[in-house]
């Protein structure tokens, strides 16, 4: 298992201070550069390969916003889980409605979605490629 380094990122005038638990402090102009800066710092300090450990960066904004940020992130995770569950239920329901003889158009009306979406759900329920997984052959490949 890889060593995991926890990092607190605190805003300052020139970017971010990156407080690496048990190691030290470095800086970054932006959060998007923070992980690379932390990895370089730890690698120089410990002699470890920069890809041999995990880094977890927690931005600290302050002024009471950190709690709001965490709550929002939690709600986003919950919404993603709910969306995945709804998609699974939709696939099962479309499969059941098709088994009962409903047409794609009727199923679309029942569920309040487009007939194309019903087709995608049926393909996904059957284990076929859905819209995201479908690859159309290029003209050169089709010949």
Per-residue DSSP letter, 73: H
Whole-model pTM over 0.85 = no
pLDDT tens-digit readout, 62-95: 888 999 999 999 999 999 999 999 999 999 999 9
User: Is the pLDDT score of 131 beyond 50?
Assistant: no
Name the percent of the chain lying above pLDDT 70.
89
Q: Which of 18, 17, 16 is nearest to 6 (CA)?
A: 18
Mean pLDDT of 25-52: 96
């Amino acid at each position: 298992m890889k060593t995991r380094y926890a990092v607190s990122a605190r805003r300052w005038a020139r970017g971010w201070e990156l407080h690496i638990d048990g190691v030290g402090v470095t800086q970054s102009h932006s959060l998007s550069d923070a992980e690379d800066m932390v990895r370089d710092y730890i690698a120089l300090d410990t002699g470890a390969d920069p890809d041999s450990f995990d880094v977890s960066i927690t931005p600290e904004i302050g002024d009471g916003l950190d709690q709001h940020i965490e709550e929002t992130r939690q709600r986003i995770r919950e919404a993603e889980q709910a969306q995945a569950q709804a998609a699974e239920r939709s696939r099962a329901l479309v499969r059941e409605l098709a088994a009962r003889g409903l047409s794609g158009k009727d199923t679309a009306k029942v569920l309040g979605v487009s007939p194309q979406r019903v087709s995608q759900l049926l393909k996904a329920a059957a284990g076929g490629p859905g819209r995201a997984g479908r690859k159309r052959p290029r003209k050169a490949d089709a010949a």
